[in-house]
Amino acid sequence: MPIPATIEVLTSETFAILEGSHVIQLTGQIRQQASQMGMSLLDQTKLSTAASELARNILVHGGEGKAQLECIRSNSKIGIRLLFSDRGPGIANVEQAMQPGFSTGIGMGLGLSGAKQLADEFHLTSVVGEGTTVTILKWVND
Ligand SMILES: Nc1ncnc2c1ncn2[C@@H]1O[C@H](COP(=O)(O)OP(=O)(O)OP(=O)(O)O)[C@@H](O)[C@H]1O
Ligand SMILES: [Mg+2]
């Protein structure tokens, strides 16, 4: 069995997600950080698009929450990890929520599935009545 790589957190910053303007501020910070780390423009766009969807989900479905922006290192790789969390209603059926086109609202239902495709890693945990946490990760020059 391969030894699981350990992730070292180099920097961490937390952003409250309470209104639409916070989503714009967050994606701007992500782009700036990613650019400083040497991430390609394409990957910056993928990461900030995924982040925008997940932050919007906090506002639309969770009410309010927070996003954490981390610069990480694992062996010789560096990257950005983003954690989105809320204490909203949670997701009863995660498998269904992950299906492209599934929405309990008026959206297209492409936010979660799109974010998963755009990131290098995607983890979602949700407990009904407690809230939802989504973590995505993108490596630089992977
Ligand atoms: N943070 C969250 N809290 C509670 N439910 C959520 C959360 N994020 C997603 N969901 C549930 O998962 C479903 C799918 O989410 P997804 O982002 O894919 O689509 P959407 O938000 O409905 O539409 P779109 O993102 O395309 O505008 C949502 O309709 C909602 O039921
Ligand atoms: Mg959405």
8 domain residue, yes or no: no
32 domain residue, yes or no: yes
pLDDT of the residue at 122: 98
Percent of the chain's residues with pLDDT above 70: 99
Residue 61 is part of which domain span? 16-139
Decide: 103 in ligand 1 pocket, CB within 6 A: yes
97-132: pLDDT as tens digits:
999 999 999 999 999 999 999 999 999 999 999 999
pLDDT of the residue at 3: 73
- Give the residue whose CA is nearest to atom 17 of ligand 1: 111
pLDDT of the residue at 131: 98
4 domain residue, yes or no: no
pLDDT of the residue at 89: 98
123 domain residue, yes or no: yes
Decide: 86 in ligand 1 pocket, CB within 6 A: yes
10 domain residue, yes or no: no
Pocket test for ligand 1, best of 53, 61, 66 (most atoms within 8 A of CB): 61
Residue 1 CA, distance from chain mean position: 29
Say whether pTM exceeds 0.75. Answer: yes
User: Nearest ligand to the C-alpha of residue 124?
Assistant: 1
**C-alpha–C-alpha distance, residues 121 and 81, integer Å:** 9
pLDDT of the residue at 43: 98
135 domain residue, yes or no: yes
CA dist 137 → 61, 100, 103, 116 (Å): 22, 20, 24, 10
Tokens of 70: 């981390």
Q: Does pLDDT of 23 surpass 90?
A: yes
How many angstroms does the Cα of residue 79 sit away from the middle of ligand 2? Answer: 24
Q: Does pLDDT of 16 surpass 90?
A: yes
Mapping DSSP onto H, E and C, the string for 66-98 reads EEEEEEEEECCEEEEEEEEEECCCCCCCHHHHC
pLDDT of the residue at 142: 72
Decide: 53 in ligand 1 pocket, CB within 6 A: yes
